[in-house]
A and B are shown apart, each in its own frame.
Chain A
Amino acid sequence: MPLDPATQKIRAFDQVGTRPLRPDGLDKVTGRARFGADATAPGMLVGRILRSPHAHARIRSIDATKAEALPGVKAVVTSKDFADRSDDLRDILVNIMARGKALYEGHTVAAVAATSASVARKALKLIKVDYEVLPHVTDVDLAMEPDAPLLHDDLITSGVEPVPTKPSNIARKIEFGHGDVDKGFAEADLVVEREFKTEATHQGYIEPHACLASVGSDGQGELWVCTQGHYMVRDVCAQLLGMDVSKLRVTASEIGGGFGGKTTVFIEPVALALSRKAGRPVKVVMTRDEVFRASGPTSSTSMRMKIGVKKDGRITALDALLKYQGGAFAGAPVDYGGMAGVACYDYPNIRVVGYDVVTNRPKQAAYRAPGAPMTAFAVESVIAEIADTLKLDPIEMRLKNAAKEGTKSAYGPTFGPVGLVETLKAAKAHPNYKVKLGKNQGRGIASGFWFNFGGQTCVSLNLNIDGTLALAVGTPDIGGSRASMCLMAAEELGIPYENVRAIIADTSSLGYNDVTDGSRVTFASGMATIHAARDAIKKLCGRAAKVWGIPEEAVVWEKGFAKPSGANAGNFEPMSLKELAANAAKTGGPIAGHYEYNAENAGPSFATHVVDVEVDPETGFTKVLRYLVCQDAGKAVHPSYVEGQFQGGAVQGIGWALNEEYIYGADGRLQNAGFLDYRIPVASDLPMIDTAIVEVPNPGHPYGVRGVGETSIVPPMAAVSNAVSHAVGIRLTESPMSPPRILKALGEQAARKAG
């Protein structure tokens, strides 16, 4: 039971911590829920996008005359339909519509709006693009070579002194840490240094990007879209199209998965430009092929990790070199990824150097704890190897170095109360950790961290005439957050969960809300909901005071009723929320609670994962036998959805570890742009993912809540790698650990033994 951060007493909850059905559940299982592609409007056209078949090519010219002349074609747009700009939206502008060069296979070159899909498809074939094919590069190490094909002739590496005189594919150099690593390694009894590579993966959301845009001749626009952040979509699209923000209203649809990949725009500005030109609504829906080739997968990486320890396992120093490619534009998450990836331990000396590199691949987008799983893979693999070498229990080794309250993190801040130690202890105490392993089986342990964000948030809570409530939040629900919001509002007001209905309001109904990302929503929108409820309660007490003719301060709110605060306040029957609602018109009009703020003090969440695998030594096939996630939720508002986040992150991480990868041909084209050959795990691949919720309250939230959505994907790649390495007796350092890779390593080991 968590402590009430305000009173430091154990707080008991009536509703928070229970598991009611989610308000959107029935609609989703019956098909009534409306997703991005379900939007429709009278006179709607079909929008289709022409994409570059080349990984890197100069666009000499685009001739769309034949397409425009095709009956049924109502508009064709190219980069000429978007004004150029030099601000921080330029990369987005160039990504949504190529200007001068196609920078990756799948890069948008032109788009059409037509009366049917078949006309649109024919029109695309009639657009003649004259390309001058250029040399390309998709590998991060090759892209950093001095003679690598150059993507941008004006890209000068930032973070380097003196400032380079020549452009390169290195967008940024970052460096952080503290202490003296050379001194730290000199003090070490054992130093292990390894190189690692990870392939790019895709978020793999089931719903492809989809939107319906409608811009009238008066310049007013509406957009219905599947996104994690409709305010972001509004603001970015309005700027790219030169519209007043007030003239564009954006409504978020239900979302079939995002995982960070829907925190930017791709088709939305294009659909708006087509609609504006055609004068009719235009719907654009990506195919799965387009999702893989032209949305935002994550970075591939190349890393070097060096850790020194004393004989007892205490870390003396860490030195890391991280190279992340982020596709055709700057922004690979080497900074956050590196910071989060090393965050689990207390290092007397640490230095992390990272490079953000551009290549001829689609611009990366956020993917659940962006960048952290890769660095964690390197850190946790070396920790595992050290524990093996020193014959230390891997959990004891981690406990010896675990970050705790008062630990100075490598990225700067000193941690407050955090739960890594508790997750390690929970893992050690769990029955899974005691199961005896058989032949060809191995166990892997890894820990992970994510910062968690707060951010700009605005909510409204409106009391209806019957005492039920309408809660409007501005953060799309990607993981059951509406249920959590309703629970928190119901908890504050002391009414049944079912009496609160939460909706995701459109951009014209609430103040600005940051994107649903950084595991921020249950924390930030949740805290705003609590404050909005408290705001409403204050007003409700005021109404009761008015009726009773006593001072407002003499009224308290208890479990759904306004009551006199004590005997001195007067002897009145408690007034229910229902009565107050029914009498609202007579006591001052509608009653509502509001809250808007920039949320701070999101508590980080740590996790420890334990996995057992069995590897078929003849085929390299890995079977996951059991998997345990122990993670700190601060306070689990809705435990089922917390467990769902733990399990979902673990499964995505297992896929990343074992089979998921972007495979490029020598021509720079993606070879596996579909779910057949981009292999996310299927249900029968996995055991039920076991979970243990740890609750170390976050002092920054009234209930102690921490975000839980992202940390869960940080440890799996390392945990699975450690398990596979133990099963086969070879340290694996490249993801995915696919059967051909494992079998090759086994063959090389056999050859070494024989030779």
Chain B
Amino acid sequence: MQYEAPATIDAAVGLLSKAQGLARVLAGGTDLLVQLKSGTLEPDLVIDIKRIPEMTKLVAENGGFRIGAAVPCAVLGENAAVRKLWPGVVEAANLIGSTQIQGRATVVGNLCNASPAADSVPAMMAANAIATVAGPNGKREVPVGDIATAPGKTSLAKGEIVTSVFLPSRPAHSGDAYLRFIPRTEMDIAVVGVGVSLTLGDDGVCKAARVALGAVAARALLAEDAAKAIVGTKLDEKALAKLAEAASAACRPIDDKRGTKEFRIKVAGVLARRAAEKALERARGK
């Protein structure tokens, strides 16, 4: 196995493009190192991106934030401005693993590992976050929801690497939230995850909303009907019930060791409702 730690994005792209056999990108390593140790993955090339300066930066940009691919989740949690703008994204990033793991794990790694249960992904999809992808043919911008295609599979072409994720600015009276269900209280993986982001008008009516679901399909889903159920409402009882119903209807889950289909479908609706209520409180400035 060859290990490389390039200093620039171009060098990383160059190495990835020329790689023979299996190549893997190493950020925090909280997924990759486990796979290496267990022998489930035997890559020929590992590219550590933590020596690339722009990958390690979290910067304010156009009223939003650009999160470098090597920025650990704990750094997001410690940043008051990011927490204030996108509390739901930060709470999702700070649910991954344990405190120690969050010191290494990155949201871009979480995205590119392409697990349907990745906690930060539904939250970022609800936030309409955009991934920047560098490759042999230059840069391109992709909605985060389009990176993963199936468990462990991404839409990235050979030589491509996600360099950052951009969390956009947002209007006043906006709020987001992420909730997941696990049978324990921490150190676990989402059986269902729901991200909700919404914006209220001055009259308190929901003007825009995005709802994303994790662990209920082969990849995280945007539940557009669920979002529609609350847009134009004050999130009254009826709208929330419709939201829950639409979130449940959007699920395409499987039965597995973490939960049954029927459980995931039911709980997706419950969590969508609870996440919407939490996002609403935040939008109202509570």
A binds B: yes
Cβ-defined partner of B38 (8 Å) among A287, A619, A671, A679: A287
- A663 and B257 within 8 A (CB): yes
- A684 and B257 within 8 A (CB): no
Shortest CB distance A624–B (Å): 11
- A651-681, CB < 8 A from B: 658-659, 663, 671-672, 676-677, 679, 681
- Interface-located stretch among A237-245, A250-258, A538-546, A737-745: A737-745
Cβ-defined partner of B185 (8 Å) among A663, A677, A682: A682
Supposing A677-B258, A740-B263, A743-B266 touch, asked if A684 and B181 sit within 8 A by C-beta, the answer is: no
B73: CB under 8 A from chain A? no
B154-192 near A? 1/0 per residue, CB < 8 Å: 000000000000000000000000000101111111010
Closest to B42 in A: A121
Cβ-defined partner of B188 (8 Å) among A620, A658, A663, A679: A679
Supposing A618-B270, A621-B183 touch, asked if A676 and B188 sit within 8 A by C-beta, the answer is: yes
B50-62 near A? 1/0 per residue, CB < 8 Å: 0000000000000
- A601-619, CB < 8 A from B: 618-619
B138: CB under 8 A from chain A? no
B39: CB under 8 A from chain A? yes
Closest to B258 in A: A677
B259: CB under 8 A from chain A? yes
Kindly name the residue among A658, A743, A744, A747 whose own CB sees the greatest number of chain B CB atoms within 10 A.
Answer: A743
Determine the distance from Cα of A618 to Cα of B188 in the docked complex, in whole angstroms.
Answer: 20
A24: CB under 8 A from chain B? no
Range, interface on chain B: 20 to 34
Interface residues of A, count at CB 8 A? 25
Supposing A121-B39, A671-B257, A672-B257 touch, asked if A743 and B184 sit within 8 A by C-beta, the answer is: no
A658 CB contacts on chain B under 8 angstroms = 183
Determine the distance from Cα of A640 to Cα of B95 in the docked complex, in whole angstroms.
Answer: 34
A741-755 near B? 1/0 per residue, CB < 8 Å: 001100100000000
B267: CB under 8 A from chain A? yes
Cβ-defined partner of A739 (8 Å) among B38, B39, B181, B189: B181
Determine the distance from Cα of A743 to Cα of B186 in the docked complex, in whole angstroms.
Answer: 21
Cβ-defined partner of A685 (8 Å) among B38, B185, B256, B258: B185
Cβ-defined partner of A682 (8 Å) among B187, B189, B260, B267: B187
Kindly name the residue among A659, A671, A676 whose own CB sees the greatest number of chain B CB atoms within 10 A.
Answer: A676
A289: CB under 8 A from chain B? yes
Determine the distance from Cα of A168 to Cα of B36 in the docked complex, in whole angstroms.
Answer: 43
Cβ-defined partner of A621 (8 Å) among B38, B181, B260: B181
B10: CB under 8 A from chain A? no
- B24-39, CB < 8 A from A: 38-39
B262: CB under 8 A from chain A? yes
- B183 and A659 within 8 A (CB): yes
Cβ-defined partner of B183 (8 Å) among A679, A684, A747: A679
Closest to B97 in A: A676
A663 CB contacts on chain B under 8 angstroms = 257
Determine the distance from Cα of A672 to Cα of B259 in the docked complex, in whole angstroms.
Answer: 12
A744 CB contacts on chain B under 8 angstroms = 260, 262-263
Closest to B267 in A: A619
B188 CB contacts on chain A under 8 angstroms = 676, 679
Determine the distance from Cα of A619 to Cα of B39 in the docked complex, in whole angstroms.
Answer: 36
Main secondary structure of the interface of A (DSSP, over half): loop
Shortest CB distance B95–A (Å): 12
Determine the distance from Cα of A740 to Cα of B183 in the docked complex, in whole angstroms.
Answer: 9
A684 CB contacts on chain B under 8 angstroms = 184-186
Shortest CB distance B240–A (Å): 13
B263 CB contacts on chain A under 8 angstroms = 620, 739-740, 743-744
Closest to B244 in A: A618
B14-29 near A? 1/0 per residue, CB < 8 Å: 0000000000000000
- B216-275, CB < 8 A from A: 256-260, 262-263, 266-267, 270
- A740 and B260 within 8 A (CB): yes
Determine the distance from Cα of A726 to Cα of B24 in the docked complex, in whole angstroms.
Answer: 51
A580-622 near B? 1/0 per residue, CB < 8 Å: 0000000000000000000000000000000000000011110
B267 CB contacts on chain A under 8 angstroms = 618-619, 739, 743
- A678-721, CB < 8 A from B: 679, 681-682, 684-685
- A333-351, CB < 8 A from B: none
A153-176 near B? 1/0 per residue, CB < 8 Å: 000000000000000000000000
Determine the distance from Cα of A582 to Cα of B189 in the docked complex, in whole angstroms.
Answer: 63
B191 CB contacts on chain A under 8 angstroms = 739
- A740 and B259 within 8 A (CB): yes
Closest to A124 in B: B39
B183 CB contacts on chain A under 8 angstroms = 621, 658-659, 679, 738-739
Shortest CB distance B147–A (Å): 23
- A681 and B257 within 8 A (CB): no
Closest to B260 in A: A740
Kindly name the residue among B181, B191, B257, B266 whose own CB sees the greatest number of chain A CB atoms within 10 A.
Answer: B257
- B95-154, CB < 8 A from A: none
Determine the distance from Cα of A661 to Cα of B185 in the docked complex, in whole angstroms.
Answer: 18
Shortest CB distance A252–B (Å): 28
Determine the distance from Cα of A672 to Cα of B189 in the docked complex, in whole angstroms.
Answer: 13
Determine the distance from Cα of A682 to Cα of B258 in the docked complex, in whole angstroms.
Answer: 17
Shortest CB distance A654–B (Å): 11
Cβ-defined partner of A681 (8 Å) among B181, B184, B189: B184
Closest to B266 in A: A743
Shortest CB distance A751–B (Å): 12
Shortest CB distance B187–A (Å): 5
Determine the distance from Cα of A289 to Cα of B35 in the docked complex, in whole angstroms.
Answer: 13
- B189 and A676 within 8 A (CB): yes
- A682 and B257 within 8 A (CB): no
B270 CB contacts on chain A under 8 angstroms = 618-619
Closest to A617 in B: B270
Shortest CB distance A243–B (Å): 33
Supposing A740-B263, A743-B266 touch, asked if A659 and B258 sit within 8 A by C-beta, the answer is: no
Determine the distance from Cα of A621 to Cα of B187 in the docked complex, in whole angstroms.
Answer: 16
Determine the distance from Cα of A287 to Cα of B186 in the docked complex, in whole angstroms.
Answer: 23
A616-647 near B? 1/0 per residue, CB < 8 Å: 00111100000000000000000000000000
Shortest CB distance B180–A (Å): 11
Determine the distance from Cα of A743 to Cα of B262 in the docked complex, in whole angstroms.
Answer: 9
Determine the distance from Cα of A323 to Cα of B204 in the docked complex, in whole angstroms.
Answer: 61
- A679 and B184 within 8 A (CB): yes
B258 CB contacts on chain A under 8 angstroms = 677
Closest to A659 in B: B183
B184 CB contacts on chain A under 8 angstroms = 659, 679, 681-682, 684-685
Partner-A contacts on B (CB < 8 A):
38-39, 181, 183-189, 191, 256-260, 262-263, 266-267, 270
Extra contacts besides A738-B183, A739-B183 (8): CB < 8 Å: A287-B38, A676-B188, A677-B189, A679-B183, A679-B188, A682-B184, A744-B260, A744-B263
| Cross-chain pairs A/B with CB under 8 angstroms, 7 sampled | A287-B38, A289-B38, A671-B257, A676-B188, A739-B181, A739-B263, A740-B262
Partner-B contacts on A (CB < 8 A):
121, 287, 289, 618-621, 658-659, 663, 671-672, 676-677, 679, 681-682, 684-685, 738-740, 743-744, 747
Top 8 A-B pairs, shortest CB-CB distance: A740-B263, A684-B185, A671-B257, A618-B270, A672-B257, A663-B257, A740-B260, A659-B183
